[in-house]
Structure 1
Amino acid sequence: MLAALLHSPLPRLIPIGMILLALQKTLFVDLQPFGVILQLVLAFAASAGAAGGSERGALAGFVLGIMFDLAIGTPLGSSSIAMGLAAWVAGTVHLIRIDATWWISAIFVGVGAAVGETSVPVIRRFIGEEDAFVPEMWTIVPVVAVSSAVMSIAFVPLARWSLGLARPEWKVPADA
C-alpha cells in the first residue's frame, strides 16, 4: 500500500503545489495586473487537466484545492470544488485531440480557469457567505483566464511530469 502511494502522482504534486502556493501568497500578492492577484494554483490545476485528462486533472485540482483551503483558511473543500471543476473542464481537450498542441492546451486551460474562477462566488454563496458576488468579477475572470493560458505554456509540461505521464507516441503499423 505504501508502494502504491509512493508511485502515485501525490509525491510530485504536493511539493509543486506547495511551491506555487507559497509564490502565490508572497510574490504574486504584490504583482497584480489590473488589480487582480494571479491564481497560480488554479492555473496549475487547469494545466493538470489539460495534461492528464478530465479525471486525473480533477483529482489534481481536488488535492491542490485542499492545500489552498488549508493555507488560506477558507472552508475546507470550497476551493477544491472550483479547482477540480477547472481541471475537469480543461481536461476535455482530450475529447478533441489525444496529443494537443501547446496553443490548444492554452485555450482549454484559460477556459477551465475562467470556469473555476467563476464558480468560486457560487460555491461561497452556497456555504453561506453574504457578499460572494463582487462587481469586479468582470475584470477578475478575464485576467485570470488570460494569465492562466499564458502560464500553461510552462505548467502543462510540469503537470505532465507531476502526474507521471509521457507524451503519446504514435507508431507506424508494421506491414503484415
Structure 2
Amino acid sequence: MNDVPARVWVTRTVLVGFIVLSFQMTIATEIRVFGVVIQIVLAFAVAAGAASGPGEGAKAGFVLGLMYDLASGLPMGSTAMSMTFGGYAAGWGRRYRLEPTWWMLAALAAIGAAVGEVFVPIIRVLTGETGVFEARIAIVLPVVALSAAMFSPVLIPVARWALAIRPAEVRVADADT
C-alpha cells in the first residue's frame, strides 16, 4: 500500500470501519429497498478495493468483515471471507487502468459487491446453516450492487484516506533525453 506501514492503514480502516459499522447496525437496518438491507460495510470494503487494487481490497474486506462478524454475532470469519472476495473482485479491475474514471470505479464497486454478496450463502452453507439459498437472491444482488455503486463516490475518497493511497503519478520522459 504505497510502502505505508500496516499499523497506519489498519488503524485508519478500523476507525472508519467503526463509523460505517455503526451506520450499518443502526440506520441501514431501518432503511430497506425492496425489503433488502443496504450493506454499507460491504460497500466500503469494495470501495477500498476499487480505490486501491485487489490485494488491498482483500485486506480491507477481511478487516471490515471481522468487525462485522464480531458486532453481529455471526460465525467468526464468515462475513470476513465474503467481504474479502468482494474487495478482491472490485480491485481486480484496477489492474487494467492506471486511474479509472468515477463511473468505472462505481462499476467496479457494484461488481465487487455482487461477488461478495454471492459468497454469503455459499459460506453460510459451509458453516453448517441450512436453507440459505432462496429465490430472493435475485432481488438482493441488484439492490446490494446498485447501492454500492451509489455510495462509491463518497466511500472511495474515504477508502483512499484509510488505506493511505496517494494519487498515481505519471511521468513523461523529457523530449531532450
Query: For residue 32 of structure 1, what is the aligned residue in structure 2?
Result: 32
Tell whether 2:54 aligns with 1:54: yes
Query: For residue 122 of structure 1, what is the aligned residue in structure 2?
Result: 122
TM-score, normalised relative to structure 2: 0.94
- SS of 2:37's equivalent in the other structure is coil
Query: For residue 79 of structure 1, what is the aligned residue in structure 2?
Result: 79
TM-score, normalised relative to structure 1: 0.95
After TM superposition, list the pairs within 5 Å mapping 1:56-71 onto structure 2.
56-71=56-71
Query: For residue 160 of structure 2, what is the aligned residue in structure 1?
Result: 160
Query: For residue 144 of structure 2, what is the aligned residue in structure 1?
Result: 144
User: What is the Cα deviation at residue 135 of structure 1?
Assistant: 2.1
Contiguous gaps of at least 5 residues in structure 1? none
Q: Matched residues, percent identical?
A: 42
User: What is the Cα deviation at residue 100 of structure 1?
Assistant: 1.0
User: What is the Cα deviation at residue 133 of structure 1?
Assistant: 1.2
Which 4+ residue blocks in structure 1 deviate beyond 2 angstroms?
Answer: none
Q: C-alpha separation between the residues in 2 aligned to 1:5 and 1:25?
A: 27
After TM superposition, list the pairs within 5 Å mapping 1:71-110 onto structure 2.
71-110=71-110
Contiguous gaps of at least 5 residues in structure 2? none
Q: C-alpha separation between the residues in 1 aligned to 2:66 and 2:97?
A: 30
- Per-residue CA deviations over 1:43-62 (Å, capped at 9, x if unaligned) read 10001001110001100000
Q: CA RMSD in A?
A: 1.3
- SS of 1:167's equivalent in the other structure is coil
Q: C-alpha separation between the residues in 1 aligned to 2:173 and 2:167?
A: 19
